[in-house]
Structure 1
Amino acid sequence: PVFHDEVKGAKRGDNIIFVWEMDELRLCHLGDLGHLLDDTTLNSIGKIDILMVPVGGTFTIDAREARDVVDQLHPRLVIPMHFKTPHLSFELDVSEKFTLYFDRVRQDKLWQGTVADLPNEQEVLVLDYHD
């Protein structure tokens, strides 16, 4: 089981992790993860090509913990989510707190492709939000 907080769901309840496999591409969406992953969960997730990871803290893991989860899963492409944008009325950390941990970072409106289009070295892709 995975949780929305660091105390086994006592504060914010359970969380669901989704893993999709299509055309040899494996994508993992960590939802509102609130803790690092244990070995059982890591084995269940398996090898991941693209990881969508919360980075904003407050309601989920923060930037440092998100980096640790990335280190646990070793995806080729990392897409941060649940971070502060100008239109949010509640407090979250900005994506830059997370991207500071990585050498290869880019920003774009979308990513589309196949396994062959993935970067050879791990890369963080910050997707533009829409107004």
Structure 2
Amino acid sequence: MLRRLALMLVVFLSWPTIAPAASEAPPSRCVAIAQALPSVTLVRFDPAGAGPLLPVQAAAGDAVTISYAGHSTYVIETPGGVRIATDFSGFYGGDPLPRVVTMNKAHRTHFTEAPDPRIEHVLRGWSPDGGSARHALVVDDVYIRNVTTDIRGWGGELERDGNSIFIFEVAGLCIGHLGHLHTGLSDAQYGQIGRLDIVMVPIDGGMTQSIGSISEITTRLYSSMILPMHRHSTPIGAFTAMMGKEFEVEFRPSRSLSVSLRTLPSRPTVVVLDGV
């Protein structure tokens, strides 16, 4: 099975880049469905106005900087200088001011109702008007899209599409932030997410979901780099033990790292930055 997945990725990464028409949404380089090896079908989202993805696909050798700001907020800085803060509440990641922020609905520590008006793009993981949020946005050298999931209300009831997994496609990398993920993922959602080279995972032990459940999701995603977040008092070892021997564990003394497609770990690795 792993050999088949590896072959899928090799074919996928070598798939030729074709520029879409200006009126079309960009194709996702991170989403592929195996129809019958060795053929692969790219999946494209269709919201209007997103524009072509050429700058994203042309910078596959450059490095992205990822910094842990606090709670569920990671700051992603692209080679083109776009600064993004995830699960932005205003408490973390606001200085220097990001150009893009993503938010999720579960708690006030994951969103703000009054973001700084100078932030160019405020992407909510839920739709205030009802239904599901849908984002497919190109900002310079990064393409940002989302896959919605359900969340639990305070009474335990499920609210449809209250959370989004945000995916950032930049410099050839596929970077995912699971947000305040309360539920397991369906096969369809895994398909919409696609390949994640780097994934940011909540490991709070129950506020989102149990360590066992989140480790199962993380194992299936099988990313090269796993960045824990939203830890609270959960021992790091409780999560890494669940991940098993196939995953390396690396503690870094810095709150930031620089990574490119070429410098990803050769084995899946849980990277724990300072402050997590």
TM-score range, shorter chain: 0.7 to 0.9
* Partner of residue 169 from structure 2, selected from 13, 21, 33: 21
Structure 1: any 5+ residue segments left out of the alignment? 85-91
Q: 1:85-124 CA deviation, whole Å, 9 max, x = no partner?
A: xxxxxxx423221012344101112221201110011000
Partner SS state of residue 116, structure 1: helix
Normalization by structure 1: what TM-score? 0.82
User: Which is strand-richer, 1 or 2?
Assistant: 2
Q: How many residues of Structure 1 are paired with residues of Structure 2 in the alignment?
A: 121
- Greater mean deviation of Cα atoms: 11-20 or 64-73: 11-20
* Partner of residue 272 from structure 2, selected from 122, 126, 129: 126
1:4 CA drift (Å)? 2.8
1:57 CA drift (Å)? 2.4
* Partner of residue 112 from structure 1, selected from 249, 255, 258: 258
Q: 1:17-36 CA deviation, whole Å, 9 max, x = no partner?
A: 10000010000000000122
Partner SS state of residue 125, structure 1: strand
Q: 1:47-71 CA deviation, whole Å, 9 max, x = no partner?
A: 1100101111232022211110112
Paired-residue identity, %: 28
Partner SS state of residue 128, structure 1: coil
1: CA distance, partners of 2:173 / 2:272? 19
2: CA distance, partners of 1:52 / 1:107? 15
Matches within 5 A, 1:62-101: 62-84=210-232, 92-101=233-242
Greater relative CO, 1 or 2 (CA 8 Å, sep 6+): 1
2: CA distance, partners of 1:37 / 1:26? 18
The list of structure 1 runs, each at least 4 consecutive aligned residues, that deviate by more than 4 angstroms after superposition, is: none
Normalization by structure 2: what TM-score? 0.41
- Greater mean deviation of Cα atoms: 32-41 or 55-64: 55-64
Q: In the alignment, does 2:184 pair up with 1:43?
A: no
Partner SS state of residue 174, structure 2: strand
Partner SS state of residue 42, structure 1: helix
Partner SS state of residue 184, structure 2: coil
Larger Rg: 2
2: CA distance, partners of 1:127 / 1:99? 14
Structure 2: any 5+ residue segments left out of the alignment? 1-147
1:11 CA drift (Å)? 5.4
1: CA distance, partners of 2:207 / 2:175? 22
Partner SS state of residue 112, structure 1: strand
